[in-house]
Amino acid sequence: MSSPYQLPIQTNHPTVEHRPVKRHHSARYYAHRVRESLTTRVSKFICSVILFILFFIGLIAFIMWLSLRPHRPRILVQDFSIPAISQQNGFENAQINFNVTARNPNRSIGIYYDEIHVAISYDDQNIGGNSLLFPFYQQPENSTFLASSLSGTTLTVNDQIWKEFLADQSQGRVIFKLEVTSNIRFKIMSWESKHHTLHANCPVGVGPDGIILLEYKDKRCPVYFS
Ligand SMILES: *[C@@H]1O[C@H](CO)[C@@H](O)[C@H](O)[C@H]1NC(C)=O
Ligand SMILES: *[C@@H]1O[C@H](CO)[C@@H](O)[C@H](O)[C@H]1NC(C)=O
Ligand SMILES: CC(=O)N[C@H]1CO[C@H](CO)[C@@H](O)[C@@H]1O
């Protein structure tokens, strides 16, 4: 009788007023409880269905992303030489020759390369660079050789740095860093991605004869995008 539910039930449902007040109250009370828990259960069910659908869409998107995710181009140093390395005043007519492979490992994704820039540094000092090739399209599972030479204006070595080369050379190896930079776009069927700037950082060591050491040949260079 002291229940707070009594009043609204009596006024809202006059047709059942003939029942004993207490029983009537309990029945309405439990009916109310049942209805309430039913709504809760229905809304919980709807929530779960929505969550499940969202999860499912997310899962599909993730799987699509996994399968379409373009594999990074692989950059490897095929060849690298600086023949004058053993000469005392080699810097006067020094030349660096390099041959780098850019490989598209993907089976279904093509890559558009803008101009490719190759820079060479020694001990974090830039010693030369060159821009290679005109923009080109690389088919899936195809390789392109980026081969060129640096000398004269594209190779800026002076007497000072040459002395450091000679010191390293007498120790058995001179280590350079070859950096490849290019703007690329991926092509997936007829869809083209936006531009990504690719960077590859390749350490290259040459022996006393100025020819690339075996351990640096055909090594995959770390590649990152910016
Ligand atoms: C790479 O592409 C060129 C043409 O763009 C084609 O001639 C060559 O056969 C391709 N190489 C491979 C390994 O698919
Ligand atoms: C670069 O290396 C590849 C593979 O060894 C070779 O086929 C190609 O002729 C080389 N290019 C130059 C310019 O040396
Ligand atoms: C190496 C390789 O082919 N990687 C992926 C290229 O993209 C396709 C889908 O577009 C994947 O199935 C390959 O695993």
Cβ-based neighbour number of residue 28 at 10 Å: 20
199/49 Cα distance (integer angstroms): 45
Q: What separation in Å is there between the alpha carbon of 218 and the centre of ligand 2? A: 12
Tell me, yes or no, whether 101 and 192 share the same domain: yes
Residue 91: pLDDT over 50: yes
User: Could you tell me if 29 and 116 lie in one domain?
Assistant: no
Pocket of ligand 2 contains residue 99 by CB under 6 Å = yes
Res 183: pLDDT: 94
Tell me, what's the pLDDT at 36? 76
Average pLDDT over residues 32-48: 84
Q: Does the CB atom of residue 104 touch ligand 3 within 6 A?
A: no
Residue 59 is assigned to a structural domain of this protein: yes
55 within some domain: yes
| Residue with CA nearest ligand 1 atom 9 | 142
Domain containing 111: what range?
74-225
Q: Can you read off the two tokens belonging to residue 59?
A: 């899962």
Query: C-alpha angle 210/212/217, rounded to 5°?
Result: 175
Residues 57 and 81 in one domain: no
Tell me, yes or no, whether 16 lies in a domain.
no
Whose tokens are 């290019």? That residue is 182
pLDDT for 67 equals 63
Determine if ligand 3 sits within 6 Å of the CB of residue 71.
yes
Cα(56) to centroid(ligand 3), Å: 23
Shared domain check, 159 and 60:
no
Q: Do 80 and 178 form a contact (C-beta atoms < 8 A)?
A: yes
Note whether 59 and 95 are same-domain residues.
Answer: no
Domains in the chain, number = 2
Give dist(CA 51, CA 23) in Å, integer: 41
Residue 163 has pLDDT above 80, yes or no: yes
Any atom of ligand 3 within 6 Å of the Cβ of 226: no
The verdict on 90 and 195 lying in the same domain is yes
Q: What is the domain-level CATH number for residue 93?
A: 2.60.40
Neighbours of 183 (CB within 10 A): 16
Tell me what pLDDT residue 8 has.
Answer: 47
pTM over 0.75: no
DSSP string, the chain: ---TTHHHHHHH-GGGTTS-HHHHHHHHHHHHHHHHHHHHHHHHHHHHHHHHHHHHHHHHHHHHHHHHPPPPPEEEEEEEE-GGGGSTTGGGG-EEEEEEEEE---SSEEEEEEEEEEEEEETTEEEEEEEES--EEE-TT-EEEEEEEEEGGGB---HHHHHHHHHHHHTT-EEEEEEEEEEEEEEETTEE---EEEEEEEEEEE-TTSBBPGGGTTPBPPEEE-
Across the chain, mean pLDDT equals 86
- Same domain (yes/no): 196, 155: yes
**Do 34 and 91 reside in the same domain of the chain?**
no
Which pLDDT score, from 0 to 100, does residue 18 have?
A: 55
Kindly state whether residues 51 and 131 are assigned to the same domain: no
Q: pLDDT tens across 97-137, in order?
A: 999 999 999 888 899 999 999 999 999 999 999 998 788 99
pLDDT band at 20 (very low <50, low <70, confident <90, very high): low
For a pLDDT cut of 90, what percent of the chain falls above it?
A: 58
